[in-house]
């Protein structure tokens, strides 16, 4: 993907374009993360952006970073724009801490293939898709370099390979379980079930472990509606969910799983609008607030002005 930055912010020293977010380093210690309207699935950026998606992701993440900062310090300093978070630069751990309360998504597909172990965690027999685990399980993934696929990995392999020290990894597990518990409680208050999610962590220059990136958004998490959950399970019916899984399912139904030789199906205007509405629905459901939509047509000039104003005041 083109690595030329969209914005030339004052003090810019480095730029990185991820699948859905653009990250600008200002000086040596400050990051400006711009949440774009790009959408990815199966590690592929889909050809059409989703209106309003960047704002929804950024504002949900801000909501939960603020609500969990008593559990673990995080990287966020401020959100000077609806699509922007400014925060401390940290050195990321090269693992994603995936935690699952239910047998869904990748875990369900693994289980249905006949395997009864995921990332070194034993899975009990007799489960069906979307059943809850007795206790949430942590199934980490390696944090892939740009263009590569994340891969499942066990706790034992992470420590044995020196990817993360044992002391740090145990701290990451503790933070992961506490964050998932808080996220689950907040979801329950809104009539939702937090099914699974992932967290990313890094270290500041002084050695402090901090939560980085976004949390509890529909790009990083899966939610079910609590109302009717058990009835649907009893009747072997699909769960009503708010997550990006419906995009993956649509792609699979149309013959695409990110494999070589496969083409992304056409994203019609109706499909793009439906995805946009689903993101908005999740925001309103989980925060209890309406989305105060910003004008995507003016996004470039708006983001630049808001970030420049914030940086000028911050470095004054």
Task: Tell me phi and psi for residue 164, to 5 degrees.
Answer: -140, 140
Give every CB contact of residue 106 below 8 A, 6+ residues apart in sequence: none
Q: Tell me whether residue 175 is exposed, middle or buried, using C-beta atoms within 10 angstroms of its C-beta: 0 to 12, 13 to 18, 19 or more.
A: buried
* pLDDT for residue 1: 41
Q: Give dist(CA 242, CA 218) in Å, integer.
A: 7
pLDDT of residue 72: 98
Give pLDDT, residue 242.
79
For residue 223, the cross-strand partners are: 194, 242
pLDDT of residue 143: 77
**10 with 312: CB under 8 angstroms?**
yes
Domain boundaries along the sequence of the chain: 92-243
Q: What residues of the chain score a pLDDT lower than 70?
A: 1-2, 144-149
CA–CA separation, 28 and 308 (whole Å): 17
Structure tokens at 209: 């472990």
Domain 92-243 has CATH 3.30.470.20: yes
CA dihedral 151, 249, 57, 19 (to 10 degrees): 50
Instruction: Specify the 3-state DSSP secondary structure of 259.
Output: coil
Characterize the bridge pairing of strands 84-88 and 40-41.
Answer: unpaired
What per-residue confidence (pLDDT) applies to 282?
81
**Rounded Cα distance, 55 and 282, in Å:** 12
Q: For 58, how many CA atoms within 13 A lie in the half-sphere containing its CB?
A: 29
């Amino acid at each position: 993907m083109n690595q030329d930055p969209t914005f030339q912010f004052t003090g810019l020293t480095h730029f990185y374009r991820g699948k859905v977010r653009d990250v600008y380093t200002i000086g040596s210690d400050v990051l400006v993360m711009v949440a774009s309207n790009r959408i990815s699935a199966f590690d592929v950026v889909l050809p059409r952006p989703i209106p309003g998606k960047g704002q929804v992701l950024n504002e949900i993440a801000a909501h939960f970073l603020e609500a969990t900062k008593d559990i673990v310090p995080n990287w966020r300093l401020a959100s000077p724009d609806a699509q922007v978070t400014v925060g401390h630069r940290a050195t990321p751990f090269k693992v994603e801490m995936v935690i699952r309360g239910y047998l869904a998504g990748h875990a369900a597909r693994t289980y249905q293939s006949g395997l009864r172990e995921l990332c070194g965690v034993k899975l009990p027999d007799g489960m069906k898709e979307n059943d809850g685990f007795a206790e949430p399980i942590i199934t980490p993934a390696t944090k892939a370099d740009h263009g590569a696929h994340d891969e499942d990995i066990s706790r034992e392999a992470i420590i044995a390979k020196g990817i993360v020290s044992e002391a740090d990894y145990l701290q990451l597990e503790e933070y992961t379980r506490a964050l998932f518990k808080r996220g689950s409680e907040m979801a329950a208050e809104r009539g939702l079930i937090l099914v699974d999610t992932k967290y990313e962590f890094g270290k500041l220059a002084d050695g402090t472990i901090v939560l980085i990136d976004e949390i509890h958004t529909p790009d990083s998490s899966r939610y079910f509606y609590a109302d009717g959950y058990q009835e649907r399970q009893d009747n072997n019916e699909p769960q009503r969910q708010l997550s990006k899984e419906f995009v993956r399912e649509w792609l699979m139904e149309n013959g695409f799983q990110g494999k070589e030789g496969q083409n992304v199906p056409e994203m019609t205007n109706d499909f793009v609008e439906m995805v946009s509405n689903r993101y908005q629905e999740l925001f309103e459901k989980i925060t209890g607030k309406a989305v105060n939509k910003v004008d995507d047509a003016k996004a470039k000039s708006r983001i630049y002005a808001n970030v420049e104003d914030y940086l000028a005041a911050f470095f004054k």
